[in-house]
Each structure stands twice: as C-alpha cells, then as structure tokens.
A = this chain, B = another copy of it.
Amino acid sequence: VHGIIEKFFDPSSVAIIGASRNPEKIGHMILKNLLEAGYKGKVFPVNPESPRILGIQTFRSVEAIPSSVDLAVVAIPSKIVPSVMEECAKKGIEAVIIVSGGFHEVDHGRRLDKAVLEIARKAKIRVIGPNCQGVNNPHSGLCATFAGFSRLRGHMAIITQSGSVGGAIQCWAERDGIGISKCVNLGNKIDVDEVDILRFLKNDTDTKVIGIYIEGLANGRAFMEAAAEVSKAKPIVVLKSGVTRAGSKATLSHTGSLTGRSEIFDAALKQADVIKANSLEEFYDIMKAFESLPLPEGPGVLIIESSGGVGALAADTCEKSGLRLPEPHKHAKNRLREVLSEFCTFSNPFDLTTESLNPEHFGLVIEENKDNDKINAFITIFGDPIVGAAEVIKRISTETDKPIVVTYLGGGDVEMIERDKMRAVGISVFPTPERAVVALQALVKYSESLRQSDTFWGTRRLLGNRSIDRMQWKRNFC
C-alpha cells in the first residue's frame, strides 16, 4: 500500500486532466505550479482542444498518453469525473487526486462519490479528494496544487481538510524560512484519509513533525490507533474545527464532515500522545517549535529578558501551562553578579534590564545555568532593538542540548535584521512571549509522553539538534 501512497508525493510522471489555457482555470494553475516548482518527472497535460499549453504538448485523452502514468490530477466538472476514472483505470494509473468539487459536500453529489469509489476499488486505484487543493512536496518539486504553497524544503508535514489552512501554514513557514516537507489536502476523503498519510509519513525521512487539520473523522478509532503508533516516532499536532455547534454546521457543508463530540475527541488525542492546538496560529507555532528545537527533558524553564514586562507575561503563561520556573543556583547568581549590572534581577525571570542591554549577557546567563538539572529549557526574550542577538544565540545553541526558545519583539528594523539572521541558520523566532511559552509547553508534554514510553532517546536523536541539522538540510537540498 505504501508504494501507491508514495506515488502521490514522488511520482515519475503526472497527468493533469483538465489542463487549461485559461489562466483563471484551476487546471491551468496546477500545470503552471507543477512546471514552475521544478518537478523533474514527465508531465502530460490532458485537454481535447488545445494542442499546447504553457509550451508543452497536450494529449486529447488519458489513453492518448504514450507512456505509463504514476499520478493523475483531475480538475474537471464533477459530472464527468466517473468517466475519466474509467480511463485512468484502463491506463493502469494507481494514484488519482480529484481536485474538482461538487461531490458529497453538495446535495446531488453523493451519487458521484459512489460511482468514483466503485471504479477505484475495482481497479485498485487510491484516490485523494475530491474537493481538495492537491499535494505539494517541495523535496520532489511535485507541486500539484492550485493555491498558496511553499517551494521551500523543510521538515513539517501538513495533512489538511482545508485548502486555506494548508495555504496559511505554508505561507507562514515560507516567510519564516522554515518550509515544509509535504502538504496534502484531503478534501472529502472518499478513499485516502489521515491514516494512510500518517503511516506513510512515519517513515518519511524529510518529515520531523506532522500537523493535521481535521474537520471530521469517518473512523475515529483507526485514526487514534495510527496516531498512537506514529506519535512514538514523530510528534503529531492536531487542529480540529467543528468543536462548537456553529463550527460543526460549517464543517458539514464544507467537506460533509460529521464532527462528533469534542470532549471524547480530546481525551482520545491525549491517550494517543497527540498534541492539540487551540488555534490556527498555535497549530503553526507548535510545529515550528518541534521543527527547530531539541526536546527538553523536563518542565523547568529559565526566562531571560531585557524588559520585565514581557518577562512577567511569559512567567504568567508558564504557570498557566504547567511549566516550572526554578531559581538559578546561588553560585551561578554570584558569578553573574560579578559581570552584570547591579540593577539586574538575578532570579527567574532573569531580567537584564536596560542597564545590561547587551546580547552577550543573554549568552552569559545561559552558560552559567546550562548545567542546572532543574532548568530544562531557556526562553530568551529580546524586547528591544538588540543588535547582535543572532550571533549569540547561534553560538550558544551549539553549547547545550537544551532548547533555547527565542522571542524578539519591539525591536523595529533591528529586530527584522536579527530575525532574518537567525532564520538563516535555522533558529526559529516567536513573535510574543506567550506564543513562545505555549509552543515550548507542547515540547515538554511530548517529551514527557516519550519518556513514559521509553522512546525518548530514539526520537530525540531523530529530532536532533536543530541548528546544525537545518543547516545540513539546506546544504543537501536547497
């Protein structure tokens, strides 16, 4: 089975059925994206009327394609999808993405669902969709999608029932210089669902963390079983909509999903060691943290900042999230008192104040506390325009296995420059102290669950030290 699922992400050849000359048509956009993303396999646009589209030869039908086809992407009116499925079956195509809408999310579409599924089962075709935006895999250049995608190769995989959720995450990941490993939009999920993709991603070496946006699950038990298995190898983050009456009405009309009771869902996620995100932004932040940071070995955090206000906000969020703020050791404080201004707060949060507005001082505080067993992670908050922050964090990250979560805010142009510098070497920057803490808390929770199941060290090795790792990735792939 994996063999076929892999064809959705790394096919040798792709047919775009419904490729169009009209730039406003989805069949045009998909072809264009595929070509521009640098896909190396063979591309066969299928269109009965135009002999060439975007400079390449088209074919009148699937049958007319002269060689074998690994993947078909279908962007034609729903009514004629069944007959095209028959052609795909004849051609021996095993993987089909149906982008077209107009299936069971609308009243008269249920009949079409059934017809498509029947053909697929008979011919052993696996189907993604219908009513979906397709698949994007920057690592193979397979950008078989029509909107909001990233070409940047990264390590977060996104499984989504919503095009805009996938698009938003990819946009943010691109702006943050993080990129993605895969994005697959499942749409109405008449065949391929989260379970298939999860099991595939478990062994995908490009993927370090998996984010899933869910509207509804046809088989909750199968999902939870797969999630419990995969989460032992890689962290899984879930964002679920339809958790209220209004939201579930919306998902019903969007992808025809029945959402179920959210308390039961939440409890099952917890059982499977899956991390639940409470908003779209949190969903992204948590993935970003997993992508870029080593796992902490416990809940102890030292907050280091240059302005007490953001430190207090971070401390509040830590306590609400169940993170601990241990005091630095006396000897560490004493050594720091010799170097830093007397106006600093030698506690937790550790406030450098404007009197010690020097990025090296953040590094010093980490150095003096990195061997404290009760401190498992650092949150550094640059709350002013502090020049040189990137250099210090880059250096100090190589000196400890403990995660150093960076927040930068209120720094104007300096902030932008430092943030870019950090991104370039694989250091993720969070925009507020609260968002940094919530992301770190997910890491703490996940690492706790791994330690309980004895897979901590294996997975930790896999996730690795982020800064070295990301640079290596960049060398290999970008």
Chain A contributes a number of interface residues (CB within 8 A of B) equal to: 80
User: A343 contacts B313, CB within 8 Å?
Assistant: no
Decide: A244 and B311 in contact? CB cutoff 8 A. no
**Cross-chain contact of A244 among B105, B316, B345 (Cβ < 8 A):** B316
Known interface pairs A164-B309, A247-B315; A412-B253 also in contact (CB < 8 Å): no
| CB-nearest residue of chain B to A346 | B253
CB distance from A190 to the nearest CB of B (A): 17
Residue of B nearest to A170 (CB): B410
- Do A308 and B251 touch (CB < 8 A)? yes
Q: A148-B384, A246-B315, A313-B280 are in contact. Are A162 and B215 (CB under 8 A)?
A: no
Residues of B contacting A308 in the complex (Cβ-Cβ under 8 angstroms)? 162, 215, 250-251, 253-255
> A219-227, A394-402, A428-436, A444-452: which one contacts chain B?
A428-436
Mask: chain A, 298-329; 1 = CB below 8 Å from B; 0 = not: 00000001111111110111111000010000
Which of B164, B239, B320, B412 contacts A307, CB < 8 Å? B164
A24 CB to nearest B CB, Å? 9
Interface assignment of A41: CB less than 8 Å from any CB of chain B: no
Number of copies: 2
Q: How far is the CA of A249 from the CA of B345 in the complex (A)?
A: 11
Q: Is the CB of B309 within 8 A of A215?
A: yes
Residues of A at the B interface (CB closer than 8 Å) are 26, 101-102, 105-106, 133, 146-148, 160-168, 170-171, 174, 213, 215, 239, 241-251, 253-255, 279-281, 305-313, 315-320, 325, 342-343, 345, 347, 349, 351, 353-355, 381, 383-385, 409-412, 415, 431-435
- Do A171 and B309 form a contact, CB below 8 Å, given A247-B315, A432-B281? no
Q: Bound state CA distance, A306 and B421, in angstroms? A: 35
A353: nearest chain-B partner, CB-CB? B101
- CB pair A311–B432 under 8 Å, yes or no, is no
- In contact, A319 and B165 (Cβ under 8 angstroms): no
8 nearest A-B pairs in the assembled complex, by CB-CB distance: A162-B309, A254-B308, A167-B410, A164-B383, A164-B307, A247-B316, A244-B319, A241-B312
Bound CA span A409–B148, Å: 9
Contacts of A411 in B (CB 8 A): 148, 167, 171
> Which of B26, B281, B435 is A354 in contact with, Cβ under 8 Å?
B26
**With A253-B347, A309-B215, A312-B241 known to touch, is A163 a contact of B354 (CB < 8 Å)?**
yes
Within the complex, which residue of B171, B241, B307 is in contact with A313, where a contact is CB–CB below 8 Å?
Answer: B241
Is B280's CB under 8 angstroms from A434's CB? Answer: yes
Tell me which of A148, A250, A312 has the highest count of chain B C-beta atoms within 10 A of its own C-beta: A312
Bound-state CA distance A218–B267 (Å) is 44
- Would you call A101 and B213 a contact (CB within 8 A)? no
Contact B315 A164 (CB under 8 A): no
Contact in complex: B171, A409 (CB < 8 Å): yes
A140–B255 Cα gap in the complex (Å)? 54
Give the residue name and chain of the B residue nearest to A409 (CB).
B168
Q: A148-B385, A148-B412, A242-B312 are in contact. Are A280 and B349 (CB under 8 A)?
A: no
Q: Is the CB of A164 within 8 A of B280?
A: no
Interface core residue of A171, A239, A250 (most chain B CB under 10 Å):
A250
Closest CB of chain B to A416's CB: distance in Å? 9
In the complex, residue of chain B having the shortest beta-carbon distance to the beta carbon of A146: B354
Cβ contacts under 8 Å, A160 to chain B: 309
A281 and B435 contacting across the interface, CB-CB below 8 Å: yes
Q: Told that A164-B307, A279-B317 touch, could you supply 11 new A-B pairs with CB distance under 8 A?
A: A26-B354, A101-B343, A164-B306, A164-B381, A167-B409, A171-B409, A171-B415, A215-B312, A245-B319, A250-B351, A280-B432
Of the candidates B146, B253, B319, which one forms a contact with A247 in the assembled complex, judged by CB atoms under 8 Å apart? B319
What are 22 pairs between A and B in contact, CB < 8 Å? A101-B354, A106-B342, A147-B410, A148-B410, A148-B412, A163-B354, A164-B383, A167-B410, A167-B412, A170-B410, A171-B409, A171-B415, A213-B309, A215-B308, A239-B313, A242-B312, A244-B315, A248-B312, A249-B315, A254-B311, A280-B433, A281-B431
CA distance A431 to B171 in the complex (A): 11
A62 to B131, CA, bound (A): 74
Query: Given the complex, which residues of B lie within 8 Å of A170, measured CB to CB?
Result: 410
Report chain B residues within 8 Å CB of A410: 147-148, 163-168, 170-171
Contact flag A310-B249 (CB < 8 Å), given A148-B385, A410-B170, A432-B281:
no
Of all chain B residues, the one with the shortest Cβ separation from A174 is B412
Q: Which residue of B lies closest to A309 (CB)?
A: B162
